[in-house]
Amino acid sequence: MIHIHPDATRIVMIRVFAILALAALPISGPALGQSGPGWFVPEPAKPAPTGRPTASPAAPRVPGPDAQGPMAPPPGAESMAPMVEPQAPLPPLQVQLPPMPEIPMIPKGSPTPAAIVGILSVPDILRVSAAYQLADKELAQRRNKVNEDGQKEQNALRDLGQAFANERAKLTPEQIRAREKEYADRVNEARRRYSERTRIIQEAGQYVMMQIERVIEQVAQQVAASRGVNLVLNRAQVLGTTADFDLTPQVADVLNKILPTVVIPPDGVSPTKITAPIAGPRVSATPEVTPAAKN
């Protein structure tokens, strides 16, 4: 009987998902990498869940629309924080742990079956995935639009600050404070707006990757079972092998046949706010979607 490690495929895919961090890097090209514990054990295919998956929080760094340069505050105004502040990793925890529990002797059990190994490269599958490439192109256009709009807003704020500096000598203290507050309010609103747009693009990337991930997992299990494989290794962890062990081409071929496109939420709409169609044709750009019912 073939069993599956409960977390292994998820771990392999979450590493690949870091590639899809859409506010940090495009989801195609040389940036694709392979990492993780490097193995999972396939099991017979399970029916794919029909419910809409819930997008997990994004972990990678989120570049704000101020990546082109800081917004110039007018003279006298407080300097503004970056539009999205990076979160530094926590330092190692230095604590005294509770006492170690006693570990009893484990009785001898049945030996594991002989390993029949297959090799799989998820990044190589994504490189040839039509659905993945279509999503990459669409979401890259959205990222570029956010960057362009952010640059225009920075230029407008720079002009506003220069105009304020030219008129400052003619203004009363009350007028100066009012202008400074107006400028700060506009900067804060721009920061909020562009951060939200960046977050929505990240969530759309997660939504795309979740659709591809669940199909790759099921297809890889079926391909492995069809070839009698009971242990699948990540190719990045294998120093050398032959093509006979590689399941990647077959998995990629089946993936493109059954998932040529994916559902991408409309621009500016978070996937948490829509109900994706459960059945029917898939689309590769902005699909017809039904807004989720409000509570």
pLDDT in tens, 167-218: 999 999 999 999 999 999 999 999 999 999 999 999 999 999 999 999 999 9
**pLDDT in the model for residue 93:** 83
pTM above threshold 0.85: no
Q: Is the dihedral of CA 191, 194, 200, 206 positive or negative?
A: negative
CA distances from 116 to 31, 119, 227, 232 (A): 31, 10, 9, 8
Residues of the chain with pLDDT under 70: 1-87, 276-295
What pLDDT, on a 0 to 100 scale, did the predictor assign at position 39?
A: 52
Tokens of 71: 């917004």
pLDDT computed for residue 222 by the predictor: 96
Helix 173-226 and helix 248-258: axis angle, to 10°?
110
Residues 6+ apart with CB under 8 A from 253: none
